[in-house]
Amino acid sequence: MNTLALPAPRLSLRRQASNLLYRRRGLLLLALLGPVLLWFGVVYLGSLFALLANAFFRLDDFTGQVVREVGVGNFVALLEPANLDSAWRTIVMAVVVTLACTVLAFPLAYYMARRARGTQKALLYIAVMLPLWSSYLVRLYAWKLLLAKEGAISWVATKLHLQWLLDLVLTTPAVGGPSLSFSTLGTFIVFVYMWLPFMVLPIMASIERIPASTLEASADLGALPATTFRNVILPLAMPGVAAGSIFTFSLTLGDYIIPQVIGDSTLFIGQIVYRQQGVAGNLPFAAAFSLVPIVVIAAYLWFAKKRGAFDAL
Amino acid sequence: MRSSWLRDKALPLAAWAVVLFLHIPLALIILYAFSAEDKSYVFPPPALTLQWFAVAWGRDDVWAAIRLSFSVAAFSTAIALVLGTLAAAALARARFFGRDVISLLLVLPIALPGILTGIALRSAYHTLEIPFSFWTIVIGHATFCVVVVFNNAVARLRRLNPNLIEASMDLGADGFQTLRYVVLPQLGSALLAGALLAFALSFDEVIVTTFTAGQQTTLPIWMLQELIRPRQRPVTNVVAVVIIALTFVPIVIAYTLTRADEPGHR
Amino acid sequence: MSAAVSLDRVSCVFGTGPQAVRAVDGVDLEVGAGEFFTLLGPSGSGKTTVLRMIGGFTLPTAGRICIGGQDVSLQPPYARPVNTVFQDYALFPHMSVRDNVAYPLMVRKVARAQRESRADELLALVQLPGVGDRRPAQLSGGQRQRVALARALVGQPQLLLLDEPLGALDLKLREQMQSELKALQRRLGITFIFITHDQHEALSMSDRIGVFNKGRLEQVATPQQVYNAPATRFVAQFVGAANVLEGEVAQRLTGRAAAMLRPERITLGGEAQARARGNVSEVQYFGSFTRLRVDLGDTHLQADLPAGTAAPQAGQSVHLHWDDGALHALQST
């Protein structure tokens, strides 16, 4: 075989750069991470810092300008009854939504984990993911139409001669409202609908992890199905529930759009934050109030971690 | 036996009922887009028509909103692609101090409630006296889209045989040539999937956007305004269906790409 | 014959502090141009690290590496006139076989027509004509190995490194590839550095062997020398079976402080002039030979009897004979 004349490689700038980066791996890492860290440091951490700083500033009532003096006025204002009410209302909603999601998600998750096979399981998986892949606002809009006075739910209720039940529910204080589409109950239903997929998947994952032999052993030792469910399946599914609840809890706490669109005139945390930074121009107070969900979520995360939620993620 | 009734009848029933619950609203919206009724949430719709599609086509504000959402998503995705790939290249295999912290940092913008990211950015813009603009939106979107690209890229990079990079260098290709001829072709589908997901995420995002857009109207913001103060309900229905298609299609493609990429699938 | 590769007090230490691993510890090595040199040793002995340092994938922490007279110690792989055949072949899955083989030419900006015809020539050389258009995934293990070889040769390297290339092949294919590789090396005249942990492979293919143990080179010699005159106890026991005699036993049986005796050099005979006497504790039949374990009281010896000689039963008493020349003195450790 004759030899081929090969062009000798030129020591171009590119080659030199490559040589340098090959020898000094640290430099390579810096080149890769530099832009990323710069962006996240400046944009994200920087803005979080700005948020924190603003929480301690205050708004001058006369000039409408933010006064950059450190004080705890905003936090004191947080303790006003209206604000405490709103915070409490939001937390209660988050808890109730989480419970409802768990109850609804469980049968589906269990069915997917233990009963569905092959194509049916894949189909169900996609069926659960599909709503997540559609726009959040569109789904919200769909419910707005569903819940409206002349909407589908009303129509169903009339057809089933249950209109009186609907009216009764709507007149209940703290739950009802002028119509389903402007009520706390409506808000609750929409929240549950939105976050349900987030609860199904982790529960399904943790039930999948229970080896079939464990359930067989339980039956073998004489336990009734209900007992097996209560003593074996439920505890082992708890990490999945905890994982899913992180989503439902924090998503509900931070959401201001659903209460605004579906809710009655009572305010949730998110709505107050949004209004304060916008119309009222009181950015410092909005900043301070927005820390409330953070603290609550952090506490919840700590609690969930104790329950082993992060193992199921 | 009662338990077998529970297991064989009640359980599948409950499961499918939940699935139905998840899908009926979407089906309804698609139905409503064809409703002839002006009030349009009347159920059942009295007649079906395509007229509202034509009306929506003529609405300039809708088109403006679509254009804005599109450009924001395009730029945000581009930035997220660069940053996400760089981060993935750095973190995929190297073990160094602070690696987990950086992973956490990347996921925070999406993990923390949107309202927090939104108001943080708002505070920063306000403090630095930066006026709202196209770029204030893009900056926010790019930040939470990075992790989407990052996850896809890292997953693919971890499966990449490290010997391939060594072999390429051994055969005479320097670092950049190796990147071009060996690494990027392998990464291609993962980056595409990540880009599609990032695009869909940005296109659909509303919470952070409302804090960073000022007076500008992206498509989700348009939708939100319609929800609060409806103008022409039927047009909103049509736009809703269009949004479903525009966010749904990229996600499905990304999903198929990731599935096809996984080992054992071919 | 100038050295194709020379390593001068090369070390490679991973990590720092008390947990630092001295993968390669002060190795001196010279490989002549056109030699088929084998790095032999158990896993973790450092042979792979040495190969990687020659290739440029790992940088040495001390010492100098020269290829063709040039100091390449810190140069990246693409700057060295060395190509490597990897253990898992590392073929690019997204390129055709032909593009894989033509890759080194492509990165050097050789024109397409020229590099493709060259790739085809190489594929014919490794006896794989006609697979150019396929993808690596469509080839068998043996075929992939040949493609990897072709790809490593197309750039006309001065030196070829082969990292246990035959490890994944089954026995018959291995033996076939062994003779093919040897023939190829003779024909091309390129220096080959070959890694294996299989001593039979090393003995049959190499011009010279470097035996590694725990990061150190214990012996560099021809296969005959390594087998008949091992430098250390480790080499004696790693390459072939050996009876290693030390201390009092060695004195009694051989008159030396430490010695090695290969089992196949022991024969059975009568009582007269027998070197040792003992009882057979184990008999193993291997077809071409029968291995005996003979218990001498204070030690035991292994004896391999060729096919055709009468093998004793277990429990029998036997007398062992060997020549003086069969003994090889070992340095007492």
Task: Return the residue matching tokens 């003992």.
Answer: C278
Dihedral angle sign, alpha carbons of residues A112, A305, A130, B23: positive
Q: Is residue A312's pLDDT more than 50? A: no
More confidently predicted of A220 and C148: C148
Q: Does domain C3-231 have CATH number 3.20.20.140?
A: no
Please state, in angstroms and rounded to a whole number, the distance separating the CA atoms of residues B243 and B247: 6
Q: Please state, in angstroms and as integers, the Cα–Cα distance from residue A152 to each residue in A146, A176, C330, following that order.
A: 5, 18, 96
Burial of C179 (0-12, 13-18, 19+ CB in 10 A): exposed
A275 is written with which tokens?
């209004």
Q: How far apart are the first and last CA of chain A?
A: 60
DSSP collapsed to 3 states, B237-259: HHHHHHHHHHHHHHHHHHHHHHH
Task: Tell me the range of A154-158, B156-160, C161-165 where mean pLDDT is highest.
Answer: C161-165
C49 three-class SS: helix
Helices then strands, counting H and E runs in chain A, come out as 16, 2
Average pLDDT over all residues of chain A: 83
Contact B216, B132 (CB under 8 A): yes
CA angle C202, C208, C211 (to 5 degrees): 65
Helix (H) or strand (E) holding A6: none
Q: Which amino acid is at C152?
A: A
* Parallel/antiparallel/unpaired status of strands C267-269 and C317-321: antiparallel
Confidence check: pLDDT of A69 > 80 = no
Q: Nearest-CA distance from A12 to chain C in Å?
A: 13
Q: Are residues C118 and A4, on separate chains, in Cβ contact within 8 Å?
A: yes
Residues 6+ apart with CB under 8 A from B14: A107, A108, A111
Rounded to the nearest angstrom, the minimum Cα separation between C288 and chain B is 41
3-class SS at B207? Answer: helix
User: What does the pLDDT average to over B140-155?
Assistant: 92
Distance CA(B262)–CA(C129), nearest Å, equals 32
- Asked if residue A287 lies in contact with residue A51, where contact means CB atoms within 8 angstroms, the answer is yes
Contact B169 C106 (CB under 8 A): no
Tokens 């525009």 locate to B246
Tokens for A154?
């009303």
Contact flag C108-A4 (C-beta cutoff 8 Å) = no
* Dist. CA B182–CA C94, nearest whole Å: 8
The span from the CA of B114 to the CA of B100, in Å, is: 22
State the smallest CA–CA distance between residue B181 and chain A in angstroms: 15
CA distance C203 to A268: 81
Residue C288 CB neighbour total at 10 angstroms: 9
**Separation between Cα atoms, residue B45 and residue A284, nearest integer Å:** 48
From the list B57, B8, C235, B29, the residue with the least C-alpha distance to A136 is B29
Residue C196 has a CB neighbour count (10 Å cut-off) of 23
- Better-predicted residue by pLDDT, A160 or B69: B69
Report yes or no: C165 and C85 within 8 Å, Cβ to Cβ. yes
> How many residues are recorded in chain B?
266
Across the beta sheet with C289-295, the strand order is C267-269, C317-321, C276-285, C289-295, C300-306
More confident residue, B84 or A293: B84
Q: Considering only A129-138, A302-311, B161-170, B234-243, which range has the smallest mean pLDDT?
A: A302-311
Q: Tell which wins on pLDDT, B84 or C18.
A: B84
Judge: C76–A22 Cβ closer than 8 Å, yes or no: yes
Q: State how far the Cα of C333 lies from the Cα of C331, in Å rounded to an integer.
A: 6
Q: Do A224 and B3 touch (CB under 8 A)?
A: yes
Which chain C residues have a beta carbon less than 8 Å from that of A4?
A: 105, 110, 114, 118, 156
Q: In the predicted model, what is the mean pLDDT of residues B201-220?
A: 90
Cis previous bond, B44, omega within 30: yes
Residue A37 and residue B102 in contact, taking contact as beta carbons nearer than 8 Å = yes
Distance from CA of B248 to the nearest CA of A (A): 6
Best of A3, A12, A22, A23 to mutate (most C CBs within 10 Å, chain C): A22
Tens digit of pLDDT at every position of chain C (333 positions): 457 899 999 999 988 888 888 889 889 999 999 999 999 999 889 999 999 999 999 999 999 999 988 899 999 999 999 999 999 999 999 999 999 999 999 999 889 999 999 999 999 999 999 899 999 999 998 899 999 999 999 998 989 999 999 888 888 888 999 999 999 999 999 999 999 988 989 999 999 999 999 999 999 999 999 999 999 989 999 998 888 888 888 888 888 888 889 999 999 988 888 888 999 999 999 999 999 999 988 888 999 999 988 888 888 999 999 988 888 888 755
Q: In this structure, are residues A255 and B208 in contact, taking their beta carbons and an 8 Å threshold?
A: no
Buried b (16+ CB within 10 A) or exposed e, A253-275: bbbbbbbbbbbbeebbbbbbbbe
Q: What residues pair up with C269 in beta bridges, in sequence order? A: C319
Domains of chain B: 55-261 (1.10.3720.10)
| B236, B230 contact by CB (below 8 A) | yes
Q: What is the pLDDT of residue B266?
A: 39
- Domain extents in chain A: 73-311
Distance CA B234, CA B32 (A): 8
User: In the Cβ-directed half-sphere of B12, how many Cα atoms lie within 13 Å?
Assistant: 9
Of chain B, the end-to-end C-alpha distance in Å amounts to: 45
> In sequence order, which ranges of C56-161 are alpha helices (DSSP H)?
97-107, 112-125, 141-153
Domain residue limits, chain C: 3-231, 241-329
- List C-alpha distances in Å: A183 to A178, A260, A266: 7, 10, 9
Q: Chain C within 8 Å of B163 (Cβ-Cβ)?
A: yes
Class of A73-311 per CATH? Answer: mainly alpha
Helix H or strand E segment including A246: helix A234-254
Instruction: Determine the residue type at A34.
Output: G
Whether C86 sits inside 8 A of B172 (CB atoms) is no
- Burial class of residue A209 in the structure, from the number of CB atoms within 10 Å of its CB (0-12 exposed, 13-18 middle, 19+ buried): middle
Instruction: Determine the longest span between alpha carbons in chain B, in angstroms.
Output: 73
Give the Cα separation of A177 and A170 in Å (integer): 5
B112: pLDDT strictly greater than 90: no
Pick left, alpha or beta for residue B104 (phi over 0 → left; psi -120 to 50 → alpha; otherwise beta). alpha
Q: Please name the residues between 46 and 85 in chain C that touch chain A, using a CB distance below 8 Å.
A: 59, 74-76, 78-79
Are C32 and C1 a contacting pair, CB within 8 Å?
Answer: yes
Write the CA distances from C183 to C151, C206, C210, integer angstroms: 18, 12, 21
Give the pLDDT score at B150: 93
Neighbours of chain A (3+ CB pairs under 8 A): B, C
Q: Token pair for residue B11?
A: 């359980």
pLDDT of residue A96: 93
% residues pLDDT > 90 (chain B): 30
ipTM reported for the complex, 2 dp? 0.83
Q: In Å, what is the CA distance from B161 to each residue of A110, B88, B157, B182?
A: 38, 15, 8, 11
Crossing angle of the two packed helices B233-261 and A136-147, in degrees rounded to 10: 140
pLDDT, tens digit (0-9, with 9 covering 90-100), for B7-37: 778 888 888 899 998 888 888 888 888 877 7
Taking alpha carbons only, the member of B58, B14, B115 closest to residue B239 is: B58
CB distance C291 to C304 below 8 Å = yes
- DSSP-derived letter for residue A180 is G
A–B interface: beta-carbon pairs under 8 A: 239
> Across-strand partners of C220?
C210
Asked if C3-231 and C241-329 have one fold, the answer is: no
Q: Does A39 contact chain B (CB < 8 Å)?
A: yes
Confidence of residue B42 (pLDDT cuts 50, 70, 90): low
Q: Are A143 and A190 in contact (CB under 8 A)?
A: yes
Q: How far apart are CA B51 and CA B67, in angstroms?
A: 23
Query: Using 50, 70 and 90 to split pLDDT, how confident is the model at B1?
Result: very low
| Cα–Cα dist C308/C290, whole Å | 10
Report the alpha-carbon distance of residue A215 to residue C95 in Å, rounded: 49
End-to-end CA gap in chain C: 35
Q: pLDDT band for A313, please (50, 70, 90 cuts).
A: very low
Among C254, C295, C265, smallest CA distance to C277 is for C295
DSSP assigned state of C71: E
Cβ distance B143 to A256 less than 8 Å, yes or no, reads: no
Residue C196 pairs in a beta bridge with C40
Contact between chains at C76 and A9 (C-beta distance less than 8 A): no
- Mean pLDDT calculated for residue range A236-260: 86
Asked if A259 and A268 count as a contact pair (C-beta separation under 8 A), the reply is yes
| Chains in contact with B, where contact requires at least 3 CB pairs less than 8 Å apart | A, C
Does the domain at C241-329 match CATH 3.50.50.60? Answer given as no
pLDDT in tens, B121-132: 988 988 888 888
Amino acid type, A299: A
3-state secondary structure of C21: strand
Type and span of the H or E element at B147:
helix B134-159
Q: How does residue A280 score in pLDDT terms, banded at 50, 70 and 90?
A: low
- Ramachandran angles phi, psi of C145, nearest 5°: -65, -40
Written as six digits, the tokens of A144 are 């707005």
